[in-house]
Amino acid sequence: MADLLTGQSILSRHSASSRHAQLKPAASCLMRAAQMGSDHQALSYSGLPACENCRVCLEACPTGAITEERFLLHAERCLTWHNEISGGWPDWLPADAHHCLVGCLKCQEVCPQNQGRLRYESLDVSFDASETDLILSGQCENDEGIKAKLTEIGLAGYAPVLGRNLKALMNRQFTQSPL
């Protein structure tokens, strides 16, 4: 974290494959650096050396949030951003971009620097048909059983967007042609 404060950050383009594994610590570091005043050198970002000639994250991004012209992704185009905020989907967002309930990780999954680092977990929580109907209707926040299940799997904070996101996933499944 010290190298962030001195002005050089070593991050992958999408920031999960480096030793600074999450945006939260980096963002708090940026805020602390800004609070230190103008005596400190401005932060600059560079990719991992392996990122220099690699473009797999650009090709994998379903929304074009990762581009050639800048190192940092365009958060306003990132599927994770749109999956986790309330409101409608932007007109430019392709229906086939939806592939998960929250988040995205397409860039992370294909990054050679992440090979062997991503962990997927099976969850022992399931929702019956009536609970699913409540989620789809946007009424799941009032059901204590659903709230408990969402808390158990770390999705309680996403309750306001789960119905909308689940509908997008279902629409994608039903509109895609069979293989």
Q: Is residue 82 part of a domain?
A: no
Q: Is residue 97 part of a domain?
A: no
Q: Is residue 9 part of a domain?
A: no
pLDDT digit string, tens, across residues 39-81? 555 556 667 888 888 889 999 999 999 998 877 889 999 999 9
Q: Taking CA 53 as the corner, what is the angle to CA 47 and CA 54, rounded to the nearest 5 degrees?
A: 80
Question: Who contacts 90 (Cβ-Cβ below 8 Å, separation ≥6)?
Answer: 82
Beta bridge partners of 10: 46
Q: Is residue 55 part of a domain?
A: no
Q: Is residue 176 part of a domain?
A: yes
* pLDDT tens, residue order, the chain (179 aa): 232 223 333 333 343 333 333 333 333 334 344 444 555 555 566 678 888 888 899 999 999 999 988 778 899 999 999 999 999 999 999 999 999 999 999 999 999 999 888 888 888 899 999 999 999 999 898 899 999 999 999 999 999 999 999 999 998 876 654 44
Looking at the 3D structure of the chain, how many domains does it have? Answer: 1
Domain encompassing residue 142: 122-179
Alpha-carbon span 154 to 132, nearest angstrom: 17
Q: Is residue 21 part of a domain?
A: no
Q: Is residue 163 part of a domain?
A: yes
